Chain A
Amino acid sequence: MAAVAAPTTQTTDIRPARRRLSPGRIVAWAVMAAIVLVTLLPFYWILRTALSTNSGLAASPGDPLPVDMTAGGFERALGLQSTKEAIAQGGAGGGLKFWRYLLNSVVVSTIVTVCQIFFSAMAAYAFARLRWRGRDKVFALFLAGLMVPTIFTLLPNFVLIKELGLVDSLLGIALPTMFMTPFAVFFLRQFFMNIPREVEEAALLDGAGKVRIFFRVLLPMASTPVLTLAVLTYITSWNDYFWPLMVSYSDTSRVLTVALAIFRAQTPQTGTDWSGLMAATLIAALPMLVLFGFFARRIVSTISFTGIK
Chain B
Amino acid sequence: MTIASSSPPSRLPLGSAEGGLTKSRTDRRGAGESRGDGRLAAVFIAPALLGFVVFLLWPTLRGIYLSFTRFNLLTPAEWVGFDNYVRMVHDPIFWNSLKVTVVYVIINIGVQTVAALAVAVLLQRLTQSAVLRGVVLTPYLMSNVVAGIVWLWILDTQLGIGNEIIAGLGFDRIPFLADETWAIPTIALINVWRHIGYTALLLFAGLQAIPNDMYEAAKVDGASEWRMFWRITMPLLRPVLAVVLIMTVIGSFQVFDTVAVTTRGGPADATNVLQYYIYGAAFGRFQFGYASAMSVALLVVLSAITFVQYRLTRAGQTDLG
What is A's interface to B at a CB cutoff of 8 Å? 1-6, 12-16, 24-25, 28-29, 31-32, 35-36, 38-40, 42-43, 45-46, 49, 57-58, 61-62, 115, 119-120, 122-123, 125-133, 135-136, 138-143, 145-153, 155-160, 162, 175-183, 185-187, 189-190, 193, 197, 201, 204, 210-211, 214, 235-236, 238-242, 245-246, 257, 260-261, 264, 274, 277-278, 281, 284-285, 288-289, 292, 296-297, 300-301, 303-309
Contacts and interface: CB of A to CB of B under 8 A. Distances in A.
A59 to B, nearest CB: 10
Given A2-B19, A146-B11, A149-B250, 11 more contacts: A5-B19, A130-B40, A133-B38, A138-B49, A139-B21, A153-B59, A175-B55, A179-B50, A193-B24, A281-B149, A308-B13
B143 A239 contact: yes
Contacts of B139: 39, 42
Contact of A136 (B25, B60, B247): B25
A15 B129 CA distance: 9
B260 A1 contact: no
Nearest to B165: A62
Interface in B70-106: 73
Interface residues of B, number: 129
Contacts of B9: 150, 309
17 contacts: A1-B16, A5-B13, A16-B126, A28-B126, A131-B35, A132-B41, A143-B21, A156-B60, A157-B55, A186-B13, A214-B44, A239-B143, A242-B257, A274-B156, A288-B142, A292-B141, A304-B133
Nearest to A278: B153
A49 B153 contact: yes
Contact of A147 (B10, B37, B283): B10
Contacts of A288: 141-142
Given A126-B45, A241-B144, A4 B240 contact: yes
Given A132-B38, A149-B299, A260 B201 contact: no
Contacts, number: 373
Interface of B: 1-3, 6-17, 19-21, 23-25, 27-28, 30-33, 35-38, 40-42, 44-45, 47-52, 54-60, 62-63, 66, 73, 118-119, 122, 125-128, 130, 132-146, 149-154, 156, 158-161, 164-165, 168, 193, 197-198, 201-202, 204-206, 208-209, 212, 225, 239-240, 243, 247, 250, 253-254, 256-257, 260-261, 275, 278-279, 282-283, 288, 291-292, 295, 298-299, 302-303, 306, 318, 320
B150 A45 contact: yes
Given A264-B149, A301-B130, A309-B3, A62 B164 contact: yes
Contact of A236 (B8, B247, B306): B8
A292 B137 CA distance: 10
B119 to A, nearest CB: 6
